[in-house]
Amino acid sequence: MGLVNGTAIRRIILEQSKRANVGHIGSGLSIADLIAALYGGILNIPSPSDPERDRMILGKGHAALALYAAFYLKGWITAEQLDTFHTDGSLLGVHPEHILPGVDFSTGSLGQGLSFGTGAALAARLQNSSRRVFVLVSDGECNEGALWEAVMFAAHHQLSNLIVLVDLNHQQAFGYTDAVIKMSPMANRWQAFGWDVHEVDGHDVAALQQTVASLDTISGPPHVLVASTTFGKGVSYMESQIKWHYMPMNDAEYPQALEEVGTTAIEVAP
């Protein structure tokens, strides 16, 4: 297991959200393996300031803690910086801000990240660059009409360097997606818009990495990995429970969560 792995990311999400006494825990746990696959192998980012780096946009900005965990494990931020999450004056807010190196675009308003990413992908093509653009969106985020404007545009212009990951955890802030705005079958929707669609297990890091490695990012349509995930993955009492979009853990819940996620020692890149 590499330094940037799902277990370490989950540990950090639990530790930091407990310290800060905040929610959005389930949303972060849902994408921990997607983030591990991206930052543990897929993304080509020699440094967060390299203009030729791959771009990565977290459309579901409320899961930023998973992103910060990866930045810490990559050695881009220190333990001291990580501990400023959710404190006054910190660069590490609930939603990611571009002033933090590693965050290419600020997000938090759902449905905007894919448009930013579509522009970034078009820019790479116009500049004859081989850099790729990844956008991680949630299934609830796909309620936003503007997202589909970007979906249509990217397909029309065959932005093959654009790769979307849909965190298909079947729930959103105030209900289950099937009960709020039914988005299934999610894959068919993207397919109908002309995207190259791959249905994957969003918790299988190796499979995710293999799938992305197989994509043609030089020509053809843009790509979407419709990644089946479990909201709150790794903590039994959080899994598929709406309340864990919002609630912080109390003192009794926290040790159980840590124990279930695992106590593998966290190693950080030098």
Partner 1 sequence: MRGAFAKTLVELAAQDDRIMLLTGDLGFMALEIFSERFPSRFVNMGVAEQNMMGVATGLAEAGFIPFAYSIVTFASLRPYEFIRNGPIFHHLPVRVVGVGGGMEYGNAGPTHHGLEDVSVMRTQPGITVIAPADADQTASALRQTWHLPGPIYYRIGKNDKVIIPNLDGRFELGRLQIVREGGDLLLVAMGGITNEVVAAADTLAKQGIQATVAIVSSFNPAPVDDLIRLLGRFPLTLTVEAHYITGGVGSLVSEVVAEQALGCRVVRCGLTTPPLAVSGSQSYLQHQYGISASALVETALRELQGIKTQ
Taking contact as CB under 8 A, which single stretch among the options 24-32, 110-118, 181-189, 212-220 is the one that binds partner 1? 110-118
Closer to partner 1 by CB, 12 or 124: give it.
124
Instruction: Give the footprint of partner 1 on residues 118-157 (CB under 8 A).
Output: 118-124, 126-127, 133, 145-146, 149-150, 152-153, 156
Distance separating alpha carbons of residues 166 and 51, to the nearest angstrom: 26
- Of 52 and 216, the one with the shorter C-beta distance to partner 1 is 52
Measured distance CA(137)–CA(134) in Å, rounded = 10
Nearer to partner 1, 115 or 229 (CB): 115
As a whole number of angstroms, the distance between CA 107 and CA 64 comes to 9
**Closest distance to partner 1 from the beta carbon of 100 (Å):** 13
**Residue 137: helix, strand or coil by DSSP?**
strand
Q: Which of 16, 115, 160, 171 binds partner 1 (CB under 8 A)?
A: 115
| Cβ closest to partner 1, residue 65 vs residue 114 | 114
Q: Please state, in angstroms and rounded to a whole number, the distance separating the CA atoms of residues 131 and 111.
A: 23
Residue with tokens 């579509």: 118
Residue 112 lies near partner 1 (rule: CB under 8 A): yes
Residues 155-184 that bind partner 1 (CB under 8 A): 156
Nearer to partner 1, 170 or 189 (CB): 189
Q: Which of 1, 2, 87, 98 binds partner 1 (CB under 8 A)?
A: 98
The Cα 69–Cα 82 span in angstroms is: 8
Q: Are 114 and 121 in contact (CB under 8 A)?
A: no
Instruction: Give the helix/strand (H/E) hosting 180.
Output: helix 177-180
Question: What are the two backbone dihedrals, phi and then psi, of residue 11, each rounded to the nearest 5 degrees?
Answer: -55, -50
Q: What are phi and psi of 172, to 5 degrees?
A: -135, -170
Q: Which window, 63-71, 97-105, 171-179, 214-222, contacts partner 1 (CB under 8 A)?
A: 97-105
- The answer to whether residues 166 and 202 touch, using CB atoms and an 8 Å cutoff, is no
Residues making contact with partner 1 (CB under 8 A): 51, 98, 104-106, 108-109, 112, 114-124, 126-127, 133, 145-146, 149-150, 152-153, 156
